[in-house]
Chains A and B, each alone.
Chain A
Amino acid sequence: MPRYVVERTFPEGLHIPVNVDGAQVCLAVVGRNTDEGVTWVHTYVSDDKRKTFCVYDAPNPEAIRKTASRNSLPVDTITQVSVLDPYFYR
């Protein structure tokens, strides 16, 4: 399955509490993703929490947009990526 990096902007910052509620929020997102065969691998968050870079495995960009809309998440850009391993050529 192709891998994508999805960039998102949160003008007011992304705030997920580190407690049961936060875990619930994340699990709900994961649950809605599975409907479209989308797997959220992990996310890098900028220090000001206004920008996120999310790594996803998904069948196509439409599936990512569909789940983003269902999860009420903004989408700036979707880029298809592959892994470059520094030791690949050794």
Chain B
Amino acid sequence: MAQSSTAAGREANLLERSAELAALAEQLEAVTSRAGGRLAFVAGEAGVGKTALVRRFAATLPATVQLMSGACDALVTPRPLAPFLDVAALTGGELEELALARTGAKPHEFAAGLMRELRQRAPSVIVLEDLHWADAATLDVLRIVARRVESVDSLIIATFRDDELDRMHPLRMLLDGLAGAGAVTRIKLAALSEAAVAQLAEPYGVDATELYRLTSGNAFYVTEVLAGGTHAVPATVQDAVLARTARLSSAGRTLVEAASIVPAAAELWLLAKMCPEAVGNIDECVASGVLSAQADGVAFRHELARMAVEASLPLNRKSALHSAAMSALADPPQGDRDPARLAHHAEGAGDTRSVLAYASEAGARASALGAHREAAAQYARAIRAGKHASPETLAGLFQRRAHACYLCGQFNEALDAQLAALDHYRTLDDRRRAGDSLWSLSRLYRYVGRPAESLETAQEAITILEQLPAGAELAMAYCNLSHIYVNADDVEDARVWGHRALELAQKLGHLEAQVYAEINLAVVDYLTTGSPGTAAELERIQRVAQENGLDEHAGRVLVALTWWSPRFKSYELADRYYEEGLEFSNDRGLDLWRHYMLAYRARCELDRGRWDEATRLAEMVIRDPLSPVPRIVALVVLGLVRARRGDPGFWPPLDEAAELAAPSNELQRREPVATARAEALWLEGREGAIPDATAPTFEIALHRRANWVIGEMACWRLRAGISEPPPDPVPEPYALELEGRRREASEAWLRLGCPYEAAISLAWSTEEADLRQALSEFQRLGARPAAAIVSRRLRRQGVRGLPRGPRATTLRNRANLTEREMEILELVANGHTNAQIAERVFLSTKTVDHHVSAILSKLGVKTRGQAAAQIR
């Protein structure tokens, strides 16, 4: 179809976008010169001209560059992988198979297919439009591709409305996760200036000042007004759109109205079926610029225009159009019918029977693609429409919704659905499924932090299922109970139920239950023996789980390996599994596991004195309230960093953590909070409150014989003046401090890699040399309140002439060294070689070489000796 003169004129008038076009061209230049792929986000409010910019850029592409594009759906519940469906339709082959869920591909598998396709088609530009509407699977794919984009010769341009992203929007989280990535750029489009609006208005004789005042320079609004041809400026953008459609012929308006109920593009065959009498007027609508021609149909030039027309339709007309669209889409001329689109139109038509059928089907398809959030929404839609469906149907829908919600971390919604499913199974007297629901319910109570109900439903599930012939449900229910005891540090009970689960699982040949039971038993072994062999056993289980598609359990193993490293101060273990665990949970969309990895990593970084990194990771967890355990850990990290730096506002996070931990007796929740509060009280000069703040948790730890926790709490209580030797031996650094061997305790902490803890053990010494060492270490770390406490102690002992400021911090800020660079510079100053440093900080020698060169250049010196002199 020929471009209309209006459209061509509009293209010529792309004002104030040369900088943005140049930025895109620069990214493309990197791609075509084989410097690696790039990802560019184009952000701006609705109607600011994102699509116009991208289209203009696409029009300038050399013929050697392949262009592919796709858009996200404005459906109430978007179709999984919507923008990639368009891309896959273009490429065909393997990618199309993957996208259509015929193979049940998960996002990471689709991403791998996409990367293969991009390598074959290099160089290429992919445009993904309207990511603020993206479904979860699309975002998962984009997250995976973004991290590896440098390995393909492709420029990916993704547009979104930044004013529609609140802090909780999944796209916002993706963007934050990509902050600082070298291959990712962001281009923000501003509204047009008053001068640009005046330039556009000039040929039309419209009052430019009034036009700018009403439109605030929104490019879509401005062009709509000018194309409407009225001299007065319509008061709203809707009025401007309708003024424009009012100038079409009656058949043209009919066609535009039909197209308005189809989000994104409407296929020509679809419009021909919906309004056969008007489809001949399509050229008129395109020529007037209201609709634009797409690959196989037409679309509104802008979503705002579609919504304006749709909103102007009388209700009965709208539902008749939806009904016509539904019948047409139920029997497409080619390809499979799309249940998500059908459910959307069934809802618009008010046809509940069809909504039930199509939404159930769409939910199943979304689940198969790993788009759990969309699956959950489709099942909810089916349930709303299924009030008069049979109890069996409803029970199944609730059960599937509960599982989808669980997988995408919507635990409270999952809980409601699971309770409803249980209710229905009880009414139907289906005791096997009721028992199955009960242990799933127990798991959900565990994640939302309701331990009493979790234990109660776990036991009830077993009671019911043990009355029936033993099946997989019972094996899973045993696993669940064993898991509850693992979390409670209740070693004996965890073993009893773990072995019972394992036996039954092996007898039934049920792999999932077997893997789950083995994980629980291995974690318990580690809790009691601290044996490094357990890590090897867990690695084996992880491989089995991953090879058999048991993603949830494979992820759980990686979490377990990270989870205990702060408790046992075995940071090497965390370093070994963190990257892999984070990547695995990202790729599989396992948000909860991702939170665990981030939170415990934050704690490891805090313990090792890397506070900036610790808060950065903690903030990523805190922003998204998913589940109490990782949130508690992250809040504690944030509170402790503030308290240690002497920054304001450390009690609110510590108070929230205490509130979250209160309903549970689990040490994994209580211990971080209790010790953090003890430390904060000390830093505030209120040691007297430490015994009361630690007593309940100390008692639980004694009861559970959790020796690391006992040692830590006993030390804080001793520092507050309470001497009570623990009944069992505690780990080395605590045992040494409890015996008053502070210098040795401090050295033990340094060997473990915990500089702040090392200084703390010396802070209660009476030896001047110990206190001076504690002081300089606190100053180096920027721990002002602790340094002040130690300074006062030294002055009370008559010591004069203490260094006042944290020299290291001043230097770092002057030279703009990062925390990591500062750490390495100190090791250089202590005479370590790069190879030795690499071993100490768990980096490759090559990376350390890079850091050292960066340090030398930032300090403006030539040798390591000169650099070292700067911090002496």
Stretch at the interface among B217-225, B391-399, B794-802, B806-814: B806-814
Minimal beta-carbon separation of B41 from chain A (angstroms): 15
Minimal beta-carbon separation of B369 from chain A (angstroms): 35
Q: Tally A residues with Cβ within 8 Å of B.
A: 20
Most B Cβ at <10 Å: residue of A2, A4, A76: A76
Are the CB atoms of B648 and A61 closer together than 8 Å? yes
Are the CB atoms of A62 and B784 closer together than 8 Å? no
Are the CB atoms of A80 and B648 closer together than 8 Å? yes
Are the CB atoms of B813 and A73 closer together than 8 Å? yes
Are the CB atoms of A60 and B649 closer together than 8 Å? yes
Q: Which residue of A lies closest to B646 (CB)?
A: A77
Minimal beta-carbon separation of A11 from chain B (angstroms): 7
Q: Is B805 an interface residue (CB 8 A)?
A: yes
Are the CB atoms of A62 and B619 closer together than 8 Å? yes
Q: Is B723 an interface residue (CB 8 A)?
A: no
Q: Is A65 an interface residue (CB 8 A)?
A: yes
B805: chain A residues at CB < 8 Å are: 9, 76
Are the CB atoms of B814 and A74 closer together than 8 Å? yes
Q: Tally B residues with Cβ within 8 Å of A.
A: 18
Q: Is B612 an interface residue (CB 8 A)?
A: yes
Complex Cα distance, B615 from A65, in Å, reads: 11
B816: chain A residues at CB < 8 Å are: 69, 72
Within 8 A of B (CB), among A27-74: 60-62, 65-66, 68-69, 72-74
* A-contact bits for B372-400, CB 8 A (1 contact / 0 none): 00000000000000000000000000000
If the complex has contacts A62-B619, A77-B784, are A72 and B647 also in contact, measured as CB distance less than 8 A?
Answer: no
Q: Which residue of A lies closest to B804 (CB)?
A: A9
Are the CB atoms of B814 and A65 closer together than 8 Å? no
Are the CB atoms of A61 and B809 closer together than 8 Å? no
Minimal beta-carbon separation of A82 from chain B (angstroms): 11
Are the CB atoms of A74 and B648 closer together than 8 Å? no
Minimal beta-carbon separation of B860 from chain A (angstroms): 14
Minimal beta-carbon separation of B287 from chain A (angstroms): 44
Minimal beta-carbon separation of A3 from chain B (angstroms): 11
A76: chain B residues at CB < 8 Å are: 805
Q: Is B642 an interface residue (CB 8 A)?
A: yes
Are the CB atoms of A74 and B813 closer together than 8 Å? yes
Minimal beta-carbon separation of B164 from chain A (angstroms): 18
Minimal beta-carbon separation of B789 from chain A (angstroms): 16
Are the CB atoms of A11 and B647 closer together than 8 Å? no
Minimal beta-carbon separation of B579 from chain A (angstroms): 24
Complex Cα distance, B818 from A66, in Å, reads: 11
Q: Which residue of B lies closest to A9 (CB)?
A: B805
* A-contact bits for B621-655, CB 8 A (1 contact / 0 none): 00000000000000000100110011111000000
Complex Cα distance, B816 from A51, in Å, reads: 19
Minimal beta-carbon separation of A14 from chain B (angstroms): 12
Are the CB atoms of B649 and A80 closer together than 8 Å? yes
Q: Which residue of B lies closest to A72 (CB)?
A: B816
Complex Cα distance, B649 from A4, in Å, reads: 11
* A-contact bits for B595-618, CB 8 A (1 contact / 0 none): 000000000000000001001000
Complex Cα distance, B616 from A60, in Å, reads: 12
If the complex has contacts A9-B805, A61-B642, are A79 and B648 also in contact, measured as CB distance less than 8 A?
Answer: yes
B810: chain A residues at CB < 8 Å are: 9, 11, 74
Are the CB atoms of B814 and A61 closer together than 8 Å? no
Minimal beta-carbon separation of B22 from chain A (angstroms): 19
Complex Cα distance, B645 from A11, in Å, reads: 21
Q: Which residue of A lies closest to B642 (CB)?
A: A61
Minimal beta-carbon separation of A25 from chain B (angstroms): 15
B615: chain A residues at CB < 8 Å are: 62
Are the CB atoms of A61 and B649 closer together than 8 Å? yes
Complex Cα distance, B810 from A69, in Å, reads: 11
Q: Which residues of B contact A (CB under 8 A)?
A: 612, 615, 619, 638, 641-642, 645-649, 784, 805, 809-810, 813-814, 816
| Nearest 5 pairs of A and B residues by beta carbon | A80-B648, A61-B647, A74-B813, A72-B816, A62-B615
25 A-B pairs with CB atoms under 8 Å apart are A2-B649, A4-B648, A9-B805, A60-B649, A61-B642, A61-B645, A61-B647, A61-B648, A62-B638, A62-B641, A62-B642, A62-B647, A65-B612, A65-B645, A65-B647, A66-B612, A69-B612, A69-B816, A74-B809, A74-B810, A75-B813, A78-B646, A78-B648, A80-B648, A80-B649
